[in-house]
Amino acid sequence: MTGLNFADVMQLAIIGLAQGSLYSLIAIGLVLIYKATEQINFAQSEFMMLGAFFGFQFIVLWGMPFWLGFLLAIAVLGGIGYTYDALVIRRMTGQPVFVVFILTLATGIVLRALAGMFWGFDSFSLPSMMPGTIDLTGVIIGWDHVIAILAAALLSLALFLFFRFSRVGIAMQALSLNQLAAFYMGMPVKRLTSSIWALAAMFGALAGLLLGPIALVSTQIGFIGFKAFAGAIVGGFGSIPGAVLGCLLIGFAEPFFDTAFPTLKGVGAYVIMFAVLLVRPQGLLSQMHQKKV
Amino acid sequence: MFNTPIWGPAMTDLLKLENVETFYGRVMAIRGVSLSVLEGKIVSIMGSNGAGKTTILKTISGALDPFKGSIKLDGNEISSQDPDVVARMGVAHVPEGREVFSLLSVRDNLMLGAYCRRDRGAVQQDFEKVLGWFPDLRSFIDKQAAYLSGGQQQMLALGRAFMQKPRLMLLDEPSLGLSPRLIGEIFDIIKHINREEGVTMLLVEQNAAVALETCDFGYVMETGRIVMEGDRDRLLASENIQEFYLGVKDEGVREERRWKGKKTWR
């Protein structure tokens, strides 16, 4: 990596961490659903895309105040996530997991097409929560990147506290550990499961809304979601701290990888995933040792 | 003991099954079972492996839907309801193999039993009661349930079910894999919960000696049917029961035929 001075390295590191933070928000959604139902939601990145598009609709097209549009977009995605589970996924209980894989994959494709129908296939930019840059002794960073990192950190902490201390959070852990026993306790398992889908979709929407100002939003934005998959797998699929760690690692390493191998731009995440899995096939924090949510 | 008359005025069926048939996959595991559980009693279902005992309990609690027949709790039809609905109606199912929430603490496990209750003060009292019955649980209170021994997990499962404040407990093989001393301890608590707390019990057991020692009334199941029923004294006196729980090993095809001759179901 010749030609990089300290400021460049710092710049890349922070951009990478911001990117990794956004991956981790998407990955948290994936892992939440996987732990609760052992299903994998391939439409998670489309939830993120929809979050960005709804934000665009509310804030830019309808001219709502920023925070109102921002929160409303997240709420709408929560509703979509809940309804999707309640109407579609819940019926698949008892069917092979494979069916849900394909179903969610197809849902993602349909959602992309629908988004294109409503909002077009062009790229656009979302307004920033806090425009401008911050100058850290020569290292110039956009506030958007800082906010992405802070938001992911705060939400991970909030999620941890929610699962550790709240009644509903503990019940969600219980149902992901033993669904039948949760039923026997009288817990409203179906509603709780749909709520987990809502939570996952909301995390995806937040990632989309935070990504909007950094990158351009288009129907193709969902491909970022695959990097979140890579991050979650690196961390040991099924562990939320692992997924966050894996995503941060991948996000952090990616800009350096791209600088070092410009011809291989964009595949860094997968190369890292391969490398980690060769050494630790179970991922960094595997479920065996740490199945804490 | 079963001293009060069965059909006395105060006696009501808390649970009543009529001609229940349940498929387990493609196999008809329950072939027309009728039984009733009187309020306040301990009723046991005995029988060997594969007789359909667990399937009966799962059908009652709603984990399996019956193909035919009716299941009434206190006169209300509960067949084909979701298990969480049945649980909220006052049925606590203690499943075979304990099924505790392994990575949650003992405290969380117990409090999850009371997830649907709103009477906080009473929940706290019940929590203390459970820890009083099972001092082992108190010393592991903030440890993950996975660290408990099999017997302690059975205590936790029983305590967790009691925290639901049920009217009826469905106990699936509480003696499974436990030492005789532990079995004694656990069944003492089961009897205590029945007598002192007024919880009706439907107990499924392979260990007929223990089941007969505990129950007021019993049923014997074979391949999905009830082949014998009676109060405790009658069952204890029965020659077939003597054989049944003394030597399950001798039970062959011939034996099974004789059982079928004895069946009292219609």
Q: Rounded to whole angstroms, how far apart are CA atoms B209 and B198?
A: 24
Any idea what the CATH number is for the domain that residue B203 is in? 3.40.50.300
pLDDT of residue B263: 44
Contact B164 A186 (CB under 8 A): yes
Q: What is the DSSP string of B40-80?
A: T-EEEEE--TTSSHHHHHHHHHTSS--SEEEEEETTEE-TT
Query: What are the backbone dihedrals phi and psi of residue B89, each rounded to the nearest 5 degrees, phi first?
Result: -80, 0
Residue of B nearest to A190 (CA): B84
- Comparing B194 with B258, the larger pLDDT belongs to B194
B100 domain-assigned: yes
B7 domain-assigned: no
Residue of B nearest to A171 (CA): B112
- Whether residue B137 contacts residue B159, with contact meaning beta carbons closer than 8 Å, is answered with yes
Give how far B240 is from chain A: nearest CA, Å.
Answer: 35
Q: Beta strand B68-73 with B76-77: parallel, antiparallel or unpaired?
A: antiparallel
Contacts of A178 in chain B (CB under 8 A): 99-102
B128 domain-assigned: yes
CB proximity B18 to A under 8 Å: no
Radius of gyration of chain A (CA): 19
Q: Rounded to whole angstroms, how far apart are CA atoms A203 and A25?
A: 6
How is residue A165 written in tokens? Answer: 């201390």
Global pTM reads 0.87
Q: Rounded to whole angstroms, how far apart are CA atoms A273 and A249?
A: 10
pLDDT of residue A65: 93
B6 confidence band (pLDDT: 50, 70, 90): low
Q: Rounded to whole angstroms, how far apart are CA atoms B265 and B224?
A: 11
CA B185 → CA A183, B161, B181, B202, distances in Å? 28, 17, 6, 18
Contacts of B104 in chain A (CB under 8 A): 170, 173-174, 177
Q: How many domains does chain B have?
A: 1
Q: Rounded to whole angstroms, how far apart are CA atoms A22 and A28?
A: 10
CB proximity B227 to A under 8 Å: no
B8 domain-assigned: no
- The answer for B119, left when phi > 0, alpha when psi is -120 to 50, beta otherwise, is beta
Contact B104 A190 (CB under 8 A): no
Q: What is the DSSP letter of A217?
A: B
Q: What is the DSSP letter of A264?
A: G
B5 domain-assigned: no
B172 domain-assigned: yes
Select from A184, A187, A291 the Cβ nearest to the Cβ of B93: A184
Residue of A nearest to B64 (CA): A180
Query: What are the backbone dihedrals phi and psi of residue B3, each rounded to the nearest 5 degrees, phi first?
Result: -85, -30
pLDDT of residue A290: 45
Contacts of B103 in chain A (CB under 8 A): 173, 177, 291-292
Question: Which B residues, 79 through 98, put their C-beta within 8 Å of a C-beta on chain A?
Answer: 82-84, 87-88, 92-93, 95
Contacts of B87 in chain A (CB under 8 A): 183-186
Q: What is the pLDDT along chain A (293 residues), one digit of tens a residue?
A: 456 788 888 888 999 999 999 999 999 999 999 988 888 999 999 999 999 999 999 999 999 999 999 999 999 999 999 999 999 999 988 888 889 999 999 999 999 999 999 999 888 888 888 888 888 777 888 899 999 999 999 999 999 999 999 999 999 999 999 999 999 999 999 999 999 999 999 999 999 999 988 888 888 888 888 899 999 999 888 788 999 999 999 999 999 998 888 888 888 889 989 988 898 888 888 655 444 44
B6 domain-assigned: no
Contacts of A49 (CB under 8 A, 6+ apart): A111, A112, A115, A208, A217, A219, A221, A222
Q: Beta strand B200-205 with B168-172: parallel, antiparallel or unpaired?
A: parallel
Query: Most B CBs within 10 Å: which of A166, A178, A185, A190, as the mutation test of the B interface?
Result: A185
Q: Which domains does chain A have, with CATH numbers?
A: 4-277 (1.10.3470)
Beta strand segments in chain A, E: 133-136, 139-142
Query: What are the backbone dihedrals phi and psi of residue B92, each rounded to the nearest 5 degrees, phi first?
Result: -110, 120
B262 confidence band (pLDDT: 50, 70, 90): very low
B1 domain-assigned: no
The pLDDT of residue B250 is above 70: no
Encode burial over B152-171: b for 16+ CB neighbours within 10 A, e otherwise.
Answer: bbbbbbbbbbbbbbbbbbbb
Contacts of A292 in chain B (CB under 8 A): 103
Residue of B nearest to A174 (CA): B101
Contact B99 A181 (CB under 8 A): yes
Interhelix angle A189-211/A143-165, rounded to 10 degrees, is 170
Q: Rounded to whole angstroms, how far apart are CA atoms B39 and B44?
A: 14
Q: Rounded to whole angstroms, how far apart are CA atoms B206 and A123?
A: 67
Owner of token pair 């009473």: B122
Select from B88, B100, B102 the Cβ nearest to the Cβ of A186: B88
Q: How many CB atoms neighbour CB B250 within 10 A? A: 10
- The separation between CA A200 and the C-alpha centre of its own chain, rounded to angstroms, equals 8
pLDDT of residue B244: 64
Contact B112 A178 (CB under 8 A): no
DSSP lists the bridge partners of residue B13 as: B38
CA A11 → CA A128, A136, A267, distances in Å? 19, 10, 20
Question: What domain range includes position B45?
Answer: 13-264
CB pairs < 8 Å spanning A and B: 71
Q: Rounded to whole angstroms, how far apart are CA atoms A96 and A98?
A: 5
Contact A185 B164 (CB under 8 A): yes
Q: Rounded to whole angstroms, how far apart are CA atoms B266 and A3?
A: 90
- Whether residue B15 contacts residue B40, with contact meaning beta carbons closer than 8 Å, is answered with no
Question: DSSP alpha helices (H): ranges in B68-119?
Answer: 83-88, 106-113
CA B54 → CA A182, B22, B151, B162, B223, distances in Å? 18, 11, 20, 20, 12
CB proximity B104 to A under 8 Å: yes
Q: How many CA atoms lie within 13 A of A175 on its CB side?
A: 28
Q: Rounded to whole angstroms, how far apart are CA atoms B45 and B203?
A: 6
